[in-house]
Amino acid sequence: MIVMYKYVGWRNDTMYLVPTPQKVEKKSEVLRKRAVKLTSEIADLRILKAMEKLPCDDGGIPLYITYSDTREEGYRICVSNEKITVDGDGINGAFYGIQTLRQIFENKEIFCVEIEDKPKNEFRILYHDVTRGRVPTVDSMKKLIDDLAYYKLNQLQFYMEHAYPFREMHGTLSESNCLLPEEIKELDAYCHENFIDFVPSLATCGHMYDILSLPQNAHLREVVDYKPKYTFWYERMIHHTINPSHPDSFDFVKSLIDQYIENFTSEYVNICGDEPFDLARGMRKAAGVDVDELYFEFMIKVINYIKSKGKKVMMWADQVFLDNMERTRKLPEDIIMLCWGYDSVPPEERVSKLEGTKFKKLVCPSSSSFYRLVENKRISEKNIQTMAQYGAKYNADGMMNTNWGDYGHPCSVELSMFGIVLGAQKSWDFEAPVDEELYRAMNLLLYKNDLGIEYLTRCNLMHEKAVFVKFVRYYSNLTHEYEVPWSKYPSEENLREAAAEAKKIVDELSQQKWEEDEFRLEMIVAAEGTAVIAELMLKHMGIEIKRWTDTEKWLEKYRTQWLKRNKESELFRIEELFRHMEEMPPQNKIFTYYGPEMNAVIDIKNLEGLED
């Protein structure tokens, strides 16, 4: 029997809205009709399209929308049984007022209400990785853009390294693993319809692994004699940096910029510039060359080139900046610095060191969905709130919430949405509450199910016991040189618990159907995938377990879900990993970690005296 689960709400006296408005005055009178009659003569097609998403009926309550001829974002709403008015400070404000009205009609019981609201932050951004695993389809991105508009974000950026048909990638890409120019232009126009600025973001120094691995471009990388020794995903993270002193490097980057940004109408360009790891590994560093100075000289040329095109520059305020605050004085003052940190308590100095400088700055937390099959709600909730606190303390100009795709982007966008919506709440107002009321609002508006966050929490706790990244690193220890020793691998107890809890979740969710059913389906796939990870790791440790999963059948489900919203892109890498682990015979080994220089390989059958 399939049980239809739908949000029914906890309290009838609360209006659930995200982001939380600045001022809400609820009346005692209950709204008698749940539809509006469009009466305003609106010339702007964007506002008309937004109004059409409201519940409309000729017998509905008359709706009047007004706004001034500006782009101001504040608005006022008055809801009564006689009429409903939305008064925007500008056209943007009218659009956001309509989004709030849409959310009002989602509530179980609607009271007459007056709302006055305005964002406290200029920049409210989602930064979405499209280059290291999942390349989204246009339709799926339009769905995400609709969601961003609904929660009043006003900017979208794609993280781009190579997933675009650059001339410099000639012969290595197809439509199935990159975004085409016409697709980006279509999304740019759709963002404009939804009052979202679509900003090009492009790696221009570090994180150019794929493009600089090609034979025709390899001479431009800092580490010329590079030979990979770890898994592909980790190699891509830690290499390649372009050689800033090579005479052809700047023209190479200029070509990438010219090809990419022509598809966007935004006045901003994010040149990234983060984590130039290879500069510290090359021969010049060993010879005492000031590679930081080389970096700054190169990035200043990139900045000036962007500015020569009439664009404004954003870039990551990476550690190289924090270690060279005097050198940052050379940079133009109108740059927007992106201050990132993804731990539950991220380093405060990444924001504090820019206090009192000439730059605008944004705090950049994360949805904490990288390395995983399901977002880490425990980390993202603390991380986003802490970065918002830093933003308020050090006068940041907004928030850019990141949704990264490290290690093949195993996590779907559905299972990243808690962090994305939480980021929208904090982007609107750094001091906006994160409490049970917000949870109820997210269950109502996002999951449309009473149990949405409860199941997400259970999936997260389950996955932490057998997380995807440790599965990859265990595989690396069996097949490659050792990778980054974050911690010891999961214990037998944790792996068994993960597999058992995953089965409970799959059994329960398989008997349900949600109004927004993709969340349920993705949770089932993530839970079953976690059990596959746990059971395969136990197998290779030589520990007997009665399996309830089938790797190949799970991969079929994973592929089905992936292709609903993404191109084929790099799905094959994840499939190859699981199939290889399935086919390999048991290794009867575990790997543990005691210090930065030690990785012990231990016979699972001889554990006497092994310390925890």
CATH code of residue 64: 3.30.379.10
Is 536 within 8 Å of 579 (Cβ atoms)? no
The predicted structure's pLDDT at residue 288: 81
- The band of 610, judged by pLDDT with boundaries at 50, 70 and 90, is very low
pLDDT at 517 over 60: yes
Does residue 449 form part of some domain? no
pTM of the entire predicted model: 0.93
437 token code pair: 């009321």
The predicted structure's pLDDT at residue 253: 98
Does residue 143 form part of some domain? yes
Q: Which of 96, 117, 138 is where one domain is finished?
A: 117
- Please indicate whether residue 3 or residue 412 has the higher confidence score (pLDDT): 412
Does residue 444 form part of some domain? no
Does residue 567 form part of some domain? yes
pLDDT at 595 over 50: no
**pLDDT per residue as tens digits for the range 301-353:** 999 999 999 999 999 998 888 888 888 888 998 999 999 999 999 999 999 99
Query: CA-to-CA distance for 434 and 426, rounded, in angstroms?
Result: 9
Query: CA-to-CA distance for 164 and 167, rounded, in angstroms?
Result: 9
The predicted structure's pLDDT at residue 8: 44
The least confident of 133-137, 158-162, 184-188, 491-495 is 491-495
Domain boundaries, position 569: 456-603
> Are residues 133 and 104 part of one domain?
no
> Are residues 144 and 25 part of one domain?
no
Does residue 448 form part of some domain? no
**pLDDT per residue as tens digits for the range 447-495:** 999 999 999 999 999 999 999 999 998 888 888 766 655 446 788 999 9
**Angle at 327 (CA atoms; ends 322, 332), nearest 5 degrees:** 100
The predicted structure's pLDDT at residue 594: 37
> Are residues 111 and 132 part of one domain?
no
Backbone angles phi, psi at 350, to 5 degrees: -65, -20
Does residue 82 form part of some domain? yes
pLDDT at 7 over 70: no
> Are residues 110 and 169 part of one domain?
no
Hey, what amino acid is at 358? K
> Are residues 531 and 389 part of one domain?
no
In the chain, how many domains are there?
Answer: 3
> Are residues 533 and 512 part of one domain?
yes
pLDDT at 247 over 60: yes
Does residue 59 form part of some domain? yes
Coil, strand, or helix at residue 115?
Answer: strand
Q: Which of 431, 446, 474 is where one domain is finished?
A: 431
> Are residues 139 and 113 part of one domain?
no
**pLDDT per residue as tens digits for the range 560-591:** 999 999 999 999 999 999 999 999 988 776 65
The predicted structure's pLDDT at residue 80: 97
Does residue 440 form part of some domain? no
- The band of 170, judged by pLDDT with boundaries at 50, 70 and 90, is confident
pLDDT at 414 over 80: yes
> Are residues 318 and 205 part of one domain?
yes
- Please indicate whether residue 608 or residue 537 has the higher confidence score (pLDDT): 537
518-539 mean pLDDT: 97
> Are residues 160 and 112 part of one domain?
no
Q: Which of 92, 117, 142 is where one domain is finished?
A: 117
Is the bond into 119 cis (omega within 30 degrees of 0)? no
What distance, in Å, lies between the first and last C-alpha atoms of the chain? 46
The predicted structure's pLDDT at residue 230: 86
Coil, strand, or helix at residue 398?
Answer: strand
> Are residues 105 and 144 part of one domain?
no
pLDDT at 81 over 70: yes
Query: CA-to-CA distance for 58 and 223, rounded, in angstroms?
Result: 68
> Are residues 142 and 93 part of one domain?
no
The predicted structure's pLDDT at residue 483: 62
- The number of residues making up the chain comes to 612
Give the HSE-up count for residue 210: Cα atoms under 13 Å, Cβ half-sphere: 22
The predicted structure's pLDDT at residue 120: 97
**pLDDT per residue as tens digits for the range 34-55:** 999 988 778 799 999 999 999 9
CATH of the domain at 350: 3.20.20.80
> Are residues 131 and 108 part of one domain?
no
pLDDT at 132 over 50: yes
